[in-house]
Structure 1
Amino acid sequence: MPFPAETPVLTDGVVTLRAPRPEDVPGAIERYTSEATSYDADDARRWITYGISEAWSTGAQLVFVIDYQGRYAGTVGLRPDPLGNASVHFGLSPWARGHGVAARAVRLALEFGFSTCGFFVIHWWAGVGNWGSRRVAWATGFHLGPTIPALAETGGRRTDAWTGWIGPGDPRRAREPWFVNPVLETTRLRLRTWRDDEVDRITTARTNQATAHFLPFIPQPFSAEDARFWLKDMAEQAAAGRRFNWCLADLETDLALGNITLFNLQNGEGELGYWAHPDAQGRGLMAEAIRLLSHWFFTDFGGRRLIIRTAASNAAARRVAESAGFTHVGSERQAFPLGTGQPDDRVTYDLLAADAGQL
């Protein structure tokens, strides 16, 4: 199917995609010069005045200006390939971000690409860490593909990139939830998202003999590189709707004292994993945090059963579970691998929504 010779006007009533106009130049210059790109004011001027129309006429790129609130808000484009597919690229001016504009623009571009241009598949990619782009891909229904090493270039160096794809019959909405940690507090502690500047607290907490014994899959010593990878992985797990991960912090100082992960979320159930920094041990903070999180899980998240599994010989973890109101409901013989190479029994504790009133 041939591409339209001229840029059509597409709108959903809030966002409009159209051809560039001379009055878009100041907005484009402001956008490109405010970002860490190789574009300067002259590049932006050339792109708006004739670059976009030239790319469209050759079929190299089908680029629209995004019009929001009657002004230039960025661009979205489709880059065809020889196989009858295309890749989508988009960018917004800072003032237009945070209002769902990019997702609306991408949905319009996808509909145009599939229904008018006849593309079979439309691809998306973004450098790892570009959470704004990933959130748009998530919101518009892209299937997430593999992370490809060195696919992208940022600041003159190769970087890894997230990838995704969508077909003409796919819904243009999120396929799974994107978990965002609620901030939860007691009189002593706060549960919040980890920060990137807390690598030292993570490495100290996860480098010890008990971790090596009960969690032998965790590298020892746990390096700063390991901690940064873990933070990135937890963020990606949340974006994929697979797990929540909280930092347990002191309410007054905000000092990181431990971690709680909520995972295996299905059919109203969830499983908890936790570890503490040496500064928090022996103070009852972890049990207090789990009681707080359990209340949120049952009352706000709508769960019905929480599970904790650990080694039968892990007295500290079992003490936390029992102090938090969980009940020992069973054991599996020789089911928990230990650092010694000899497995231990695995014990299971649970807490039901019906028990929540007793917390």
Structure 2
Amino acid sequence: MPIPPEHPVLTDGVVTLRAPRPDDVPGQLERHREDPDRRFDADDARRWITYGIHEAWKIGTRLVFVIEYQGQYAGTVGLEPDPHGNASIHYGLASRARGAGVASRAVRLALDFGFGECGFHVVHWWARVGNWPSRRVAWATGFRMGEAIPGFGEEHGRRVDAWTGWIGPDDERKPRRPWFDHPVLETPRLRLRTWRDDEISRITTARTNQATAHFLPFIPQPFTAEDARFWLKDMAEQAAAGHRYNWCLADAETDLGLGNLTLFNLGYGEAGELGYWVHPDAQGRGLMTEAIRRVADWFFSPDGYGGHRLLIRTAATNQAARRVAESAGFQHAGTEREAFPLATHLDARVTYDLLPTDLTP
């Protein structure tokens, strides 16, 4: 690979990538002190900035740049070549520079350098599962997401499951699909927000019941804490992949989780489908109808999702789910025979739909 013998200076007018300087040592040390699991002292920072980065560049094992933002050290980004003409990318940002798109700008500059100057064929990315800031940067800069690989990475001396991704020289350096950031929606009685990790017991209680076992036999019974944690991770993954929104229905006064509303099957003619469930102590109060109407307002609004048709599909014999759909103003759009699998047999599947013109004040 034609690696330049010395650091070039790369800039997009906002962020600059350059060689390290002695005055970067305090910033490097401070950044690593923000990570309580990382053992990194002043001597480590000094050696890395004054010697380690230059030596790694010289022998071609790691091509690390200091990220400069607003005239100060803001972190590092590096490319690690492999024997196959590819490279992996690594980056870390100081807290003062987060939230301003600095990491994404730095990664784009590094990719342009890696593909244009060094001739890499593919650049790989990986991050520990749960490292959402790193994944957000990879998403923003156009990486294709691959599989999550158990035990793929190592952090602080222990093996970790890792998200993976890759990008090629001809790929655009921008998101390939939306990342759904959940808006907080409010009604007189509810606040629609994302679930928290401390609400596992509310989820397990709501999902463990005879009706769920009958109408949704693919859901484990009993629904354990482990199932709930996996479900929360999966909902976050689905939002990051632009596949679905998932709201917790929380009491507007106490913030207690009362139920769940999911918007999925998006992207096909700007239609979407709703799924829902309610905690036993919140049933019979019309809360789901209230939540669906609020989500429908947001979904159809040009300032919201901007969709044009909402669907609800359920088993013909699921009277509770059908009452909710009808109470929310959905119209019966059709019935398919033996199309909804129950625990014991195939039921008919009913479809309800809602258009913006169906909404009433």
TM-score after normalising by structure 1: 0.98
Matched, 1:47 2:42: no
Work out the CA distance in 1 between the residues paired with 2:33 and 2:330. Answer: 56
Q: How does 1:108-119 map to 2 (within 5 A)?
A: 108-119=109-120
Work out the CA distance in 2 between the residues paired with 1:155 and 1:121. Answer: 27
CA apart distance, 1:155? 4.0
Work out the CA distance in 2 between the residues paired with 1:294 and 1:335. Answer: 26
Task: Find 2:348's aligned residue among 320, 323, 345.
Answer: 345
Match of 2:358 in 1: 355
Match of 1:67 in 2: 68
CA apart distance, 1:37? 1.4
Tell whether the 8 Å contact from 1:288 to 1:324 is kept in structure 2 after alignment.
yes
Relative to structure 2, which stretch is displaced further, 29-38 or 302-311? 29-38
Q: How does 1:171-250 map to 2 (within 5 A)?
A: 171-250=172-251
User: Match for 2:108: what amino acid?
Assistant: R
User: Match for 1:272: what amino acid?
Assistant: L
Q: Runs of 5+ in structure 2 lacking a partner?
A: none
Work out the CA distance in 1 between the residues paired with 2:349 and 2:152. Answer: 42
Match of 1:293 in 2: 295
Matched, 1:5 2:5: yes
**Cα-to-partner distance string for 1:175-227 (whole Å, 9 max, x where unaligned):** 11100111111111110111111111000000000000000000000000000
CA apart distance, 1:161? 0.3
Percent of counterpart pairs with the same letter?
Answer: 74
Work out the CA distance in 1 between the residues paired with 2:43 and 2:223. Answer: 48
Work out the CA distance in 2 between the residues paired with 1:154 and 1:276. Answer: 39
Work out the CA distance in 2 between the residues paired with 1:118 and 1:272. Answer: 47
CA apart distance, 1:156? 3.3
Match of 1:19 in 2: 19
CA apart distance, 1:280? 1.0
Work out the CA distance in 1 between the residues paired with 2:18 and 2:77. Answer: 10
Q: Runs of 5+ in structure 1 lacking a partner?
A: none
CA apart distance, 1:301? 1.3
Match of 1:278 in 2: 280
Match of 1:332 in 2: 336
Work out the CA distance in 2 between the residues paired with 1:146 and 1:38. Answer: 30
Relative to structure 2, which stretch is displaced further, 171-180 or 151-160? 151-160
RMSD: 0.8
Tell whether the 8 Å contact from 1:32 to 1:41 is kept in structure 2 after alignment.
no
Residue 286 of structure 1: SS of its match in structure 2? helix
Work out the CA distance in 2 between the residues paired with 1:91 and 1:217. Answer: 41
CA apart distance, 1:153? 2.2
**Cα-to-partner distance string for 1:22-80 (whole Å, 9 max, x where unaligned):** 11011111111221313222211110010000000000000000000101110000000
User: Match for 1:206: what amino acid?
Assistant: R
Work out the CA distance in 1 between the residues paired with 2:330 and 2:80. Answer: 55
TM-score after normalising by structure 2: 0.98
